Amino acid sequence: MFKILAKEAISPTVNLFRIEAPSVARAARPGQFVMLMTDEQGERIPLTIANWDEAEGSISLVVSSVGHTTLKLATMQPGDTLAHVVGPLGKSTEIGNFGKVACVATGYGMLTIVPPAKALKAAGSRVFSVISAPSKSELLQPERLGEVSERLIVTTADGSAGRSGWVIEPLKELLVSEGIDRVMAIGSLCMMKLVSEASRGLKTTVSLNPIMVDGTGMCGACRVSLAGTPRFACVDGPEFDAHEVDWDLLMARRCSYPMEAACGESAYRCRSCAQW
Amino acid sequence: MAELNLSRVEMPRQDPLIRSQNFLEVALGYSATEALSEAARCIQCPKHPCTGGCPVGVDIPDFIKALRELDLASSSRILKNKNKLPGICGRVCPQETQCEQSCVLARRGAPVAIGRLERYVADWERRQDALELPLRLPPTGQKVAVVGSGPAGLTCAADLAVAGHAVTVFEALHVPGGVLMYGIPEFRLPKAIVRHEVDSIMALGVEVRLDWVVGNILAVDKLFALGYQAVFLGTGAGLPMFMNVPGEIFSGIYSANEFLTRVNLMHAGEPGYDTPLPMGSQVAVIGGGNVAMDAARCALRAGAERVFIVYRRTKAEAPARAEELENAEEEGVVFCGLTNPVRFLANARGWVTAMECLKMELGEPDAKGRRRPIPKPGSNFIMDVDTVVIALGTTPNPLVPATTPGLDIHPEGTIIVDKEGHTTKPGVWAGGDAATGAATVISAMGAGRTAASSINAYLKDPSDWPAIDQTG
Ligand SMILES: Cc1cc2nc3c(=O)[nH]c(=O)nc-3n(C[C@H](O)[C@H](O)[C@H](O)COP(=O)(O)OP(=O)(O)OC[C@H]3O[C@@H](n4cnc5c(N)ncnc54)[C@H](O)[C@@H]3O)c2cc1C
Ligand SMILES: Cc1cc2nc3c(=O)[nH]c(=O)nc-3n(C[C@H](O)[C@H](O)[C@H](O)COP(=O)(O)OP(=O)(O)OC[C@H]3O[C@@H](n4cnc5c(N)ncnc54)[C@H](O)[C@@H]3O)c2cc1C
Ligand code: SF4
Ligand code: FES
């Protein structure tokens, strides 16, 4: 059983959980994820390991309430137990001294990008970050990414914090002004897709989040098309080369249920998957 | 000698029209009277070729004799002496190509319905209050890790526990049982039976750790560092194959593993369960094996209006058991033979709406003697479907080999083993689908058992590890 040790509401729709999971904490590396079931009748959902504490035997998960299971999770309290947490799953982020790396994040990515960014910094890379949210209240602990970044550019759609606007413009400026060598993006699909368009010619990695069922390579639900070849995001990813991803297919697939709820009206407002 | 009775007692089944709407078991099992009159057909022949036809050598005439004498406890003991999971095997073994095929009565008429009798005895045992446990030898103080809780791993674990070793089973999923839980549907193998078998193995003192992906959480080498002296890999063949044709990534297209996992393991669509099963009304299942039949019959039960089996050869070449094909057709599944999809089409939302198929014809036999399907040029046609399940088979998951230096695999991904299950890595055995590729429950069980006795011998005397060659 996996006990919830702490829960903190960090935005109107996002909670940060600390969960007892010693075996996961022992093996976790940046960029890996867990599959979680709230109860025996629940669905298995993938969540990135946002932090871990081997000594305490705990992991942190940042959870956006977007649908059935994440809303159920939001009603759970410290002391409650989760039926299943399995991980770490997937490959870890490629870490190294890559020169200047731009880290771009929206939604839960603002926190799940922290462990890879920190590891990159420790390996000698210089980290420059850009994050964005609809408004100030939806920025997720920006100081955490700020701590590992030489520069953090914050933008909000309504201008309530930082620059007003979205991540793409500041990223484009950064690419030129800093002479960025590599880009890493974690967040909504539409954001990652547009980042990959903005960063043509630069090595760019993204953390893909297709629908998953088992998370161990057994079902193929998570298959994504990479340079025309099908790959399983749960075992071959979730990190992939952004310029090889077939974004349109992925977006069509990811939003497969409920069938009607497509990614929002405008590409930038992925309201239905709430990862904006 | 009594006169031979050449026709078997039929086993009652649910009516096709009713059963296609529910997940309850299709074959209802013998009553006591039916079981006894079927058992009476066995002539107890001294040579009993049936035993030789059984992959684990169950003493078939003996268990049938005890049943006839109404000594069900002995009958069950005789069965379990060779087969740890009779309630499962009685239901899912392909007896028609194993013990029943070898029965002497088969030469003149219907063989003794050995599988049905096995099921009868196992079901009797399950209904008894007290579980009869085999005697455990005194603790040896030695630890063995078993990876995977399918029939191979469970059998290996049970045998090693009886031998007195401390056994831990590591299972990646949240439920033990492997394909028995996530693949084979409830209506062929009720999950309560699998749970009962798992419980009886845990009652031997086997520890089952769920949610443990060996490779990711703990590499095989780490298991040795933790004090396990031997490791058995029963990780199955869970990696689904796709067709690699355009559009296969569209929504509404599932692997059989995903479709069956949603239905069987996650209970999609059942009240109280959260996992959805996004499905349309016109379902095509691609493939001609047992897995395809299971997926098709699940789709019907999950509410599909029409379900097609799309197979590139004809019914005669289909690898599915004749009985399963017949069950599926009785329930309303439509068989479209000599048809091969070449491309999938989708709507603007990326949801599959149709598939373009080619008509095939049969050519010369291939290496296995099955006639090869050859596309008829220009025979392309469109089949409107809104859900597709691809059941083309599976290969072993590469995770454990990829994280275990020294563990060699064949090009197809199966782990290289010798007859006793030794792998190329000292201290590590493998068996079941992980070593053979997708096969049967009973062969996986047999491999688990063989490896257990080899592990036993090794723990007593860890002598030289045999050299394993590619052909082993
Ligand atoms: C590798 C990986 C890591 C992830 N890490 C995190 C994380 O750290 N924090 C977090 O909040 N979420 C994360 N996600 C997304 C998270 O898994 C989904 O939001 C969750 O499964 C939705 O489940 P639900 O039952 O609440 O919503 P549902 O009721 O299933 O769906 C509600 C809405 O969410 C959308 N949705 C469904 N599945 C996904 C998905 N996989 N990704 C995005 N949107 C989806 C649907 O289109 C639908 O509009 C990750 C996904 C993957 C694959
Ligand atoms: C739909 C379907 C229907 C079938 N019907 C029949 C039938 O009627 N009759 C018959 O005889 N056979 C049937 N089979 C085949 C039969 O089920 C298999 O041959 C048998 O289950 C193989 O047993 P196994 O123990 O080798 O592997 P599996 O049953 O596949 O079990 C392997 C287990 O290992 C776990 N695992 C994998 N990797 C790891 C890891 N890294 N760490 C921890 N755990 C891991 C898996 O999660 C799984 O639980 C069917 C198969 C399918 C898919
Ligand atoms: S071969 Fe058939 S008749 Fe002979 S002992 Fe076996 S089951 Fe009975
Ligand atoms: S989630 Fe099942 S294979 Fe990746």
Q: Percent of chain A having pLDDT more than 90?
A: 71
Residue from B344, B349, B386 whose CB has the most chain A CBs within 10 Å, to mutate:
B349
How far is residue B319's CA from residue B331's CA, in Å, rounded to a whole number? 19
Q: What is the pLDDT of residue A139?
A: 92
For position B470, what pLDDT does the model report? 61
- Residue B270 pLDDT level (bands cut at 50, 70, 90): confident
CA A42 to chain B, closest CA, distance in angstroms equals 5
Residue among A68, A219, A262 whose CB faces B261 most closely = A219
B405: pLDDT confidence band, cut at 50, 70 and 90?
very high
Among A91, A218, A253, A254, residue to substitute to test ligand 4 (most atoms within 8 Å of Cβ): A218
Is residue A43 over pLDDT 80? Answer: yes
d(CA B395, CA B402): 14
User: What pLDDT score was predicted for residue A258?
Assistant: 36
Chain A's closest residue to B256, CA to CA, is A219
Residue B35 banded pLDDT, cuts 50, 70, 90: confident
Given the structure tokens 């980042």, which residue do they identify? Answer: A195
Residue type, B287: G
B202-246 per-position pLDDT tens digit: 999 999 999 999 998 889 999 999 999 999 999 999 999 999 898
In angstroms, the CA A84 to CA A38 distance is: 7
Locate the ligand 2 atom nearest the alpha carbon of residue B177 and give its number: 49
Looking at every residue in chain A, the average pLDDT score rounds to 89
Mean pLDDT, residues B186-191 taken together: 93
Minimum distance, in Å, between the CA of residue B161 and any CA atom of chain A: 25
Chain B residue at shortest CA distance from A23: B217
Q: How confident is the model at residue A85 (pLDDT cuts 50, 70, 90)?
A: very high
Q: Helices H, strands E: what count in chain B?
A: 18, 16
Q: Please work out whether the CB of residue B396 comes within 6 Å of at least one atom of ligand 2.
A: no
- Closest ligand (CA of B54): 3
Stretch B413-430: mean pLDDT: 94
The per-residue pLDDT for A32 is: 97
pLDDT at site B102:
87
**How large is the average pLDDT for residues B281-291?**
95
pLDDT at B323: 86
CA of B46 to the centre of ligand 3 (A): 9
> B34-48 burial by CB neighbour count: b if 16+ within 10 A, else e?
bbbebbebbbeeeeb
Question: Residue A154 and residue A133: Cα distance in Å, rounded?
Answer: 8
Predicted confidence (pLDDT) at residue A260 exceeds the cutoff of 50: no
B174 contacts chain A (CB < 8 A): yes
- Closest Cα in chain B to A33: B216
Q: How far B387 CA lies from chain A's nearest CA (Å)?
A: 12
Comparing CB atoms, the residue among A218, A246, A249 nearest residue B239 is: A218
Pairing of strands A45-48, B371-375: unpaired
Residue B149 near ligand 2, beta carbon < 6 Å? yes
Tokens representing A208? 């893909």
In this prediction, residues A139-158 reach a mean pLDDT of 93
pLDDT at A275 exceeding the cut of 60? no
Q: B471: pLDDT confidence band, cut at 50, 70 and 90?
A: low
Q: Which site among A23, A72, A86 would you substitute to test the B interface, given the most B Cβ atoms closer than 10 Å to its Cβ?
A: A86
CA separation, residue A226 to residues A37, A91, A249, B219 (Å):
29, 16, 11, 28
Band (A95; pLDDT cuts 50, 70, 90)? very high
Taking only the tens place, the pLDDT of each residue in B155-175 is 999 999 999 999 999 999 999
- pLDDT cut 90: percent of chain B above it: 61
From A27, A87, A217, residue closest to B239, measured CB to CB: A217
Please report residues of A whose CB lies closer than 8 A to that of B254.
220-221
For residue A263, pLDDT beyond 60: no
Q: Are B252 and B278 in contact (CB under 8 A)?
A: yes
Nearest chain B residue to A83 by CA distance is B174
Q: How far is ligand 2, taken at its centre, from the CA of residue B84, in Å? A: 16
- Cis before B411 (ω within 30): no
pLDDT at A269 over 50: no
Provide the phi-psi class of A179: left if phi over 0, else alpha when psi is between -120 and 50, else beta.
left
- Residue with the smallest CA separation from ligand 4 atom 3 is A217
Average pLDDT over residues A60-89: 94
Nearest ligand, CA A221: 4
Determine the length of chain A: 276
Model confidence at A270: pLDDT above 60: no
Please give the angle made by the CA atoms of B87, B92 and B95, to the nearest 5 degrees: 105
Cβ–Cβ gap A27/B218 under 8 Å: yes
**pLDDT for position B350:** 81
pLDDT grade, residue A254 (50/70/90)?
low
B472: confidence class by pLDDT, cuts 50, 70, 90: very low
| Lowest-pLDDT choice from A69-78, B4-13, B273-282, B409-418 | B4-13
For the segment A14-40, what is each residue's pLDDT rounded down to a tens digit? 999 999 999 999 999 999 999 999 999
User: Atom 5 of ligand 1 has which residue's CA nearest to it?
Assistant: A47
Q: Which of A43, A221, A230 sits opposite B242 (nearest CB)?
A: A230
Ligand 2 center from residue B183 Cα (angstroms): 8
Mean pLDDT of all residues in B391-411: 92
Cβ-Cβ pairs closer than 8 A, A with B, add up to 120
A220 neighbourhood in chain B, CB within 8 Å: 240, 242, 254-255, 257-258
Q: Is 90 exceeded by the pLDDT of residue B426? A: yes
Residue A262 has pLDDT above 70, yes or no: no
Residue B23 is predicted with a pLDDT of 86
Structure-model confidence comparison of residues B415 and B2, the more confident one = B415
pLDDT of residue A274: 45
Nearest-angstrom CA–CA distance, B3 and B25: 35
Q: What is the pLDDT of residue A261?
A: 40
Q: How far is A228 from chain B (nearest CA, A)?
A: 10
Distance between start and end Cα atoms, chain A: 32
Q: State whether residue B257 sits within 8 Å of chain A by CB.
A: yes
Lowest mean pLDDT among B29-38, B293-302, B392-401: B29-38
Regarding beta strands A33-37 and A84-89, do their DSSP bridges make them parallel or antiparallel, or are they unpaired?
antiparallel
Tell whether the model's pLDDT for residue A256 goes beyond 60. no
Average pLDDT, chain B: 91
Percentage of the residues of chain B whose pLDDT score is greater than 70: 98
Q: What is the pLDDT of residues B63-84, one digit of tens each?
A: 999 998 999 899 999 998 888 8
Give the pLDDT of residue B172: 95
Q: Which residue has the higher pLDDT, A274 or B128?
A: B128
CB B208 within 8 A of CB B198: yes
Q: Which of A37, A87, A253 sits opposite B249 (nearest CB)?
A: A253
pLDDT at A255: 56
State the pLDDT at residue A264.
Answer: 38
* Region B92-112 average pLDDT: 87
Query: pTM for this one?
Result: 0.92
Q: Can you tell me whether residue B79 is helix, strand or coil?
A: helix
Would the pLDDT of A117 be above 60? yes
Asked whether the beta carbons of A108 and A274 are under 8 A apart, the reply is: no
A78-92, A257-271, B233-247, B327-341: which range is least confident on average? Answer: A257-271
Q: What is the pLDDT of residue B208?
A: 96
Instruction: Tell whether B381 lies on the interface with A, counting CB pairs under 8 A.
Output: no
Residue nearest to atom 19 of ligand 2 (CA): B440
Instruction: Give the tens place of pLDDT for each residue, B109-149.
Output: 889 889 999 999 999 988 887 767 778 898 999 999 999 99
Ligand nearest A220 Cα, by number?
Answer: 4
Q: How far is CA A196 from CA A184, A210, B10, B396, in A?
A: 9, 17, 64, 34
- pLDDT(A46) > 60: yes
Query: Cβ separation of B349 and A262 shorter than 8 Å?
Result: yes
